[in-house]
Amino acid sequence: MPYRAPNVDNFSHARWLRQGFVLREGFREYLETMTGDILRAEGRRPRRDTVTKIRNTLNVVLANLFQTHLVDFNRYVIIPLNSNPYRSGPYNPQRLDLRNVRSVVRFLHQQEPSYIEHRGGNFDHLANIGHPTRFRPTERLIRELETVALDAQPEAHINNEPPRLTMNTLENNPHSPWASLLFEEHEAPSVRLRAERQGEGGPRPFIDFPPTAETRAMEERLERINGFLNDHWIDLLIPDDDFRQLTGTPDEARDEFNDPKPHRREIDLFFRRKLYRVFNNGTFENGGRFYGGWWQGIPGRYRKFLTINGYTTAELDYSNMQIAMLYAREGRQLEGDAYAVEGVPQEYRGLLKKTLFKIINARGHIRAPLVASRPPGWDWRTLLEALEQRHQPIAAYFRSGIGIQLQRLDSDIAERVMIRMRADGNLALPVHDSFIVMDGQQDALREAMSGAYRDIMGANIEIAADETLFPQLPHDQGLVRALGFDNFERYADAAQNAGALDYEDHITNLEMQPAYEAYRQRRLDFIRIQGEDWGWRHQFLR
């Protein structure tokens, strides 16, 4: 059975309610029955508009609770009980409002036994952040939804394949593309504008704006990019146990400035494959970066395990990008590593990088890092002065808040890279200042990145290559053991006796191990849903 009792109670391990996320048609009867129960419990008249609003609200709440539990049974869903998030407009496609949200939540909580457990909102004075109310489903709700899900599968098959939704699918492989039999998502606009920040608090709301020729053109380009992206399957070639651990509850960690490190974003392989752009401070001159791809939220050390259509990948990134952009503005070329200061040991590069980013993004002074995080013999003032001296040509931009304007430029560059790669039939996954492609497409990506940067900045920039999975395959002892050998020597002997194993042999041997069963199943499920033509088009019928 898919219900698994939470074993970690981490208040911060939560995601916001996705207001366009709903259950599919097969749940209609269940939703209508519970809607009637809610109206009777609330003593409300069953007028048509009231029934529709309650049913739509219930649909969104249950879909979020059900899917979140399937993917990560420890995660909460944040369902705000104030009116701010439920503004009418394109970001609220089901027309949720506070009254109906409260009615649904109250009903689910007051039933005996309850359908949901909740944690009330509070304010963390240490972190200076407010936590809104959050919820998790109980066993009763999950068992009822599971029963409906298994009884209400569509009669029509997908590409002549029968539905593959089983108990095993729900419990062991919630990221399978067959999840499309249960849920669907009404997309919010792909170009989004946040309000100007007003003090501290939760996420700034998205605001409506009159479309312009520029924003329409952005949306059209994003539609083409997302259509191309949707035709590919992105996954992680890691053992199934490691995958479950990666998507589980994050550690509570803080950086050198005692700021909480970002918690893992939601890793959802099927419903987090579309990109959108986010602009900030009520203007299209600030921000504009691409978000929405689940691969953007995984820790960097896992990115070399990404696969596209079953093939391993490579990552290239712009070196010192925002700093190089400031030098380009001054008609100068950045020399060397922007995050290296003479006399500061290399192991403190991360601190220098964060400090430099804070300096160009902040307006005014920035808080000092923890004493234990600083290089021996360096006080905070001396470290700042050394950074300013190192970057004297661009020191005028320090504490100017220009970083948010640079994001508009680097996001325009990223858009050009993706469009150029798509024109040649190559998918490039953006991670702000880096891109991930199938291994073997690095030369095409490097050319696209160099050209896009020159187009926008009128200058050149260094492009670095991150470590790929393939070169380390025969030497990584963990991977060798996963292939069934005690050590590299035994693996090398077997490879020599069988003839030299090439790139695809390594990958095939790895993914066929028992520890990768869920990975193999997700890949095969995607092929079945896409159909045979997709397999031939991507040379992926192996």
- Give the model's confidence band at 498: pLDDT under 50 very low, under 70 low, under 90 confident, else very high: very low
Task: Name the least confident of 19-23, 213-217, 245-249, 483-487.
Answer: 483-487
pLDDT at residue 125, rounded to an integer:
47
pLDDT tens figures, 378-413:
999 999 999 999 999 999 999 999 999 999 999 999
Statement: residue 537 has pLDDT above 80: no
Instruction: Dump the DSSP string for 372-401.
Output: GGSPTT--HHHHHHHHHHHTGGGGGGTTBT
pLDDT tens figures, 314-342:
999 999 999 999 999 999 999 999 999 99
Which tokens is 366 given?
Answer: 């920035």
Domain boundaries, the chain: 1-188, 339-390, 471-537
pLDDT tens figures, 254-275:
677 767 665 556 788 888 999 9
Answer yes or no: are the C-beta atoms of 231 and 224 closer than 8 Å: no
- Give the model's confidence band at 532: pLDDT under 50 very low, under 70 low, under 90 confident, else very high: confident
Q: Of 313, 274, 277, 276, whose CA–CA distance to 294 is shortest?
A: 274
pLDDT at residue 435, rounded to an integer:
98
The average confidence (pLDDT) of the chain is 85
Tell which wins on pLDDT, 33 or 493: 33
Could you give the CA distance from residue 349 to residue 375 in angstroms, rounded to a whole number? 10
pLDDT at residue 500, rounded to an integer:
44
- Give the model's confidence band at 33: pLDDT under 50 very low, under 70 low, under 90 confident, else very high: very high
Q: Residues of the chain with pLDDT > 70: what percent?
A: 82
**Bridge partners, 158 (sequence order):** 161
Average pLDDT over residues 361-368: 86
Statement: residue 150 has pLDDT above 80: no
Task: Name the least confident of 32-36, 466-470, 471-475, 503-507.
Answer: 471-475
Which tokens is 178 given?
Answer: 């067959």
Could you give the CA distance from residue 412 to residue 273 in angstroms, rounded to a whole number? 20
- Cα dihedral 324→325→328→334 (10° resolution): -10
Average pLDDT over residues 97-101: 95
- Give the model's confidence band at 156: pLDDT under 50 very low, under 70 low, under 90 confident, else very high: very low
Task: Name the least confident of 204-213, 250-259, 358-367.
Answer: 250-259
